Amino acid sequence: MKKWLKWFLIIFLILILAGLFTAGFYVSSIYLNAKTLAIDEDALNSSQLYIEVFDNENKPIKEFNEINKQYVSINNLKDTTKNAFISIEDKNFYSHHGVNYKRMIKALLNDIKARKLKEGASTITQQLIKNTQLTSDKTLERKIKEIALAQKLEKKYTKDEILEKYLNVIYFGNNCYGIESASNYYFSKPAKDLSSYEAATLAAIIKSPAKYSPTKNPDNCLKRRNLVLNEMYKDNLLPANEYNLSINKPLSLNINNEPKNKLNSYSQSAIDEAVSILKIPARQIALKGYKIYTYQNQQKQIALESSIDDQQINCDFSAIVLDNKEHKIEAFIGKSAYKILDNKRQPGSCIKPVLVYAPAINEDIIYPCTPLLDEKTTISDYTPKNIGDVYRGYISAREALSKSINIPSVKVLSYIGIEKAKKYAEEMGFEFDEKDDSYSLALGGMTYGVNILQLASSYTTFANSGNYAPAKFISFITDKNNKIVYVNKTVENQVLREDAAYLITDMLKTCAKTGTAKKLSSLNMDLASKTGTVGKANSKQNLDAWNISYTKEQTVGVWLGNLDNTPIDFAGGNQPTEIVRKYFEQIKDNSKFDVPSSIIEKEIDATELYENHKIVLAGNNTPERYTQKELFSRFNLPTDVSNKFIQMEKQSFKGKVTGNTAEISFNAKSYITYTFYSDGKKIKEISGLNGSQNIIIPLKQQKQTIDIEYFITINPEVCENEKISFIKTKSEEKHNDKWFI
């Protein structure tokens, strides 16, 4: 062996040993330090817990802030209920001393392969420690502390005591802490009465309450429930007859709906946000005495609640008020048996400004006045339809958006490109599935959709000069000693140019005046709005109804529907819009949208727009009555200028003989005067007419010539003429004359 290679291997070996020694010393020091930590008995045993939540004036919010804690003794639970959790979570629970080393080594090897801390291999004892004593961070230090404290816990309590504490603190989703609470919510019965398949359902949830939620992801939950039953059967903890009966049972729930608003109150939503921020369960937030200070505005909260109460809504609903500049959630209310903000719904036409029209304007693809052909069409095997199967021909982008017409939206998306449009929407808070790659996105056809917070937050981009940031419930959090441990710091991202954001706002102001949100037109406010309605496939019934409206200062969002997809009797332009109107009647908002310096008003040639569907600037000679004022960005102005009032294009006239009359057909222009002469005598003159015309003239002479003179009405010197001659000849039939051109 060469000398240099020998020294290289020696040095390499020394480095490895030094690394292992250092790592061992590091792990040992954490472990030994953790051994000295005291176990928080209150966290293990407390049953009456409450989280203090405050509004923007630091006044307590008196809603449902209790941690839903109902204790059940292990002796009152069936063996099958206990076995469901043991079989799926910790088969060796009764034999280990807090840690399953074999299982941990296997998980560690899998983590090394995945190059991240993915598998925990935690025993029931470790899970109890994690949920009551530590954060949920996936770090090596936390894991070592978890092991040390689990071993300590095993020396202090019996296995049944540990299992009892575990079942009474574990989280089952939908604000359910503990098996008694979960049993009462999901099955409307006490935990002592759970059947085998019901207990297996609850055991299935706890691995990931979101992923295996029986209300949100029932298919996932059913598969894992059956896995739990299978493990119980393999472990000889479930008789064959009971297994066969349970495995074939559907995922049948009996949701306890009382109190209806508990899961969706403002304070509960703030607590959920705090769980995400602090990375500890809500139960630990209560135990550690954290206080949550929010942005809730009591005046707006009361107004929002009363606006919904006035409508007597008989379905699930949610409504929200956001501060556009500060990205604060000032009011929120929801009613459902499930957590509304944990669920996503199809946004319907409310997606159009975010995904379609704003990107198209920002990319200089369209103007608000751009004519779009509304016609039956197929794009990439997708054939969209308008409501009522009605098609309007050429309409402006402004009208298409304000009246929520489908075909133009799909066409504009095709001009932008799906991927580019999605990037814009993602920068405004949308999340897309990999299957979201169809032009149906233009109409809100997403795999999963959005919740009301995401949708309303995206609209603040338009009111906030093109800048986006997700809205938040929490301003700051303090610990039990009133020391601030968290402060919300908003970081904005500029998604749109300021002028593009304003042009969308101006288009949506039209929606609030004469479009689908015209119920808001009675409000004397500078207000923009968009509605959305999601219909049930192959049905005339609806599943979701939306309205998102905003002023310069605030955005209000309303959703009506049912999270179990029961049809509703509402549409976006009706009850949701009426709720917004009621809200703004109570909350006077006199703010005005600022017009950016990059916005300019220009006159265009209206005749070019309606005749040729082109955006052409009015020329110096274009009469005022033939102009139309439109808004543009200085960065994207039309370049063509009209010269049609100083030049005349040849017109096309067609003659036809019927008996002894001549019929002359042509396409008239409203700004041209047409005069018809026969033998030097004026027989007809028309002006100010637009579109197809038919002129009938009697034929009397052997040869009759019709002279047609036409000129620009306001400038007769710009003129042209045309002649059409008609000749009478003898036909083969006796005594019968015929006219020919």
pLDDT (tens digit per residue) in 193-216: 999 999 999 999 999 998 999 988
737-740 β-sheet, strand order? 681-686, 672-678, 703-712, 715-730, 737-740
pLDDT at 265: 92
Q: Is pLDDT above 80 for 365?
A: yes
In 3-state terms, what secondary structure has residue 344? coil
Q: Report CA Rg, the chain.
A: 36
Residue 256 lies in a domain: no
> Do 24 and 135 fall within a single domain?
no
E strand spans, 233-359: 291-294, 316-323, 328-335
Same-domain status, 237 and 363: no
Same domain (yes/no): 375, 452:
yes
Q: Which 8-state DSSP code applies to residue 123?
A: -
d(CA 327, CA 461): 10
Is 641 domain-assigned? no
- Helices 406-416 & 418-427 angle (0-180, nearest 10): 100
Is pLDDT of 114 > 60?
no
Please confirm whether the linkage preceding 384 is cis (ω < 30° from 0).
no
Place of tokens 């308008």: 386
Same domain, yes or no: 429 and 328: yes
620 and 519 inside one domain: no
CATH number at residue 326: 3.40.710.10
Q: Find the domain containing 664 and state its range.
A: 653-740
Q: Enter the tokens of residue 429.
A: 């808070």
The answer to whether residues 574 and 682 belong to one domain is no
pLDDT, average across residues 457-476: 98
Indicate the residue among 196, 214, 247 that finishes a domain.
247
Residues 191 and 104 both lie in one domain: yes
pLDDT score recorded for residue 259: 60
Write down the pLDDT at residue 24: 60
Residue 343 lies in a domain: yes
On whether both 345 and 226 belong to a single domain, the answer is no
pLDDT reported for residue 602: 96
Stated as kind and residue range, the H or E segment containing 616 is none
Q: Are residues 698 and 626 in the same domain?
A: no
User: Closest Cα to residue 576, out of 345, 318, 351, 330?
Assistant: 318
Enumerate the active-site residues: 89, 349
The CATH number covering residue 197 comes to 1.10.3810.10
CA distance linking residue 551 with residue 577, whole number of Å: 15
Q: What are phi and psi of 270, to 5 degrees?
A: -65, -40
Residue 591 included in any domain? no
Between 106 and 583, the higher pLDDT residue? 583
Answer with the one of 218, 247, 276 that is the final residue of a domain.
Answer: 247
**pLDDT: which is higher, 40 or 150:** 150
Q: Which range among 138-152, 334-348, 538-552 shows the weakest confidence by mean pLDDT?
A: 138-152
Both 230 and 130 in one domain: the answer is: yes
Cα distances (angstroms) measured from residue 22 to each of 17, 25, 141 = 8, 5, 15
Which pLDDT score is estimated for 33?
A: 65
Q: What is the pLDDT of residues 317-347, one digit of tens each?
A: 999 999 999 999 999 999 998 899 999 999 9
Q: Would you say residue 117 lies in a domain?
A: yes
What pairs with residue 722 in β-bridges?
A: 708
Q: Once rounded to an integer, what is the mean pLDDT over residues 384-390?
A: 90
Among the residue ranges 104-118, 281-295, 418-432, 587-601, the one predicted with the least confidence is 104-118
Write down the pLDDT at residue 7: 66
Task: Supply the pLDDT for residue 132.
Answer: 83
CA atoms lying within 13 Å on the CB side of residue 727: 4
Q: Among 26-35, 148-157, 318-327, 504-513, where is mean pLDDT lowest?
A: 26-35
Signed CA dihedral, 97, 99, 105, 106: sign only? positive
**What average pLDDT score do residues 534-553 get?**
93
- Looking at the fold, whether 84 and 17 belong to one and the same domain comes out as no
Please say if the pLDDT value at position 438 is more than 70. Answer: yes
Cα–Cα distance between 52 and 68 in angstroms, integer? 14
- Mean pLDDT of the 696-719 span: 88
In a domain, 711, yes or no: yes
Instruction: Tokens 């220009």: give the residue.
Output: 602
Residues 625 and 660 placed together within one structural domain of the fold: no
Question: Looking at per-residue confidence, does 33 or 433 come out higher?
Answer: 433
What is the reported pLDDT for 437?
93
Give how many domains the chain has, as a whole number.
5
3-state secondary structure 555-567: EEEEEEECCCCCC
The mean pLDDT of 220-242, rounded to a whole number, is 94
Q: Which helix (H) or strand (E) holds 4?
A: helix 3-35
Does 267 fall in a domain?
no
pLDDT surpassing 90 at residue 729: no
Is there a domain that residue 70 lies in? yes
pLDDT tens-place string over residues 545-573: 999 999 999 999 999 999 999 999 999 99
DSSP bridge partners of 262: none
Higher per-residue pLDDT: 351 or 44: 351
Number of H helices, E strands in the chain: 22, 23
**Residue 662: closest CA among 702, 697, 623, 615:** 697
C-alpha 572, offset from chain centre: 15
Question: How far apart (Å, rounded) are the C-alpha atoms in residues 149 and 128?
Answer: 10
Q: Tokens at residue 414, please?
A: 């095709």
**Is residue 2 over pLDDT 70?**
no
Q: What is the mean pLDDT of the chain?
A: 89
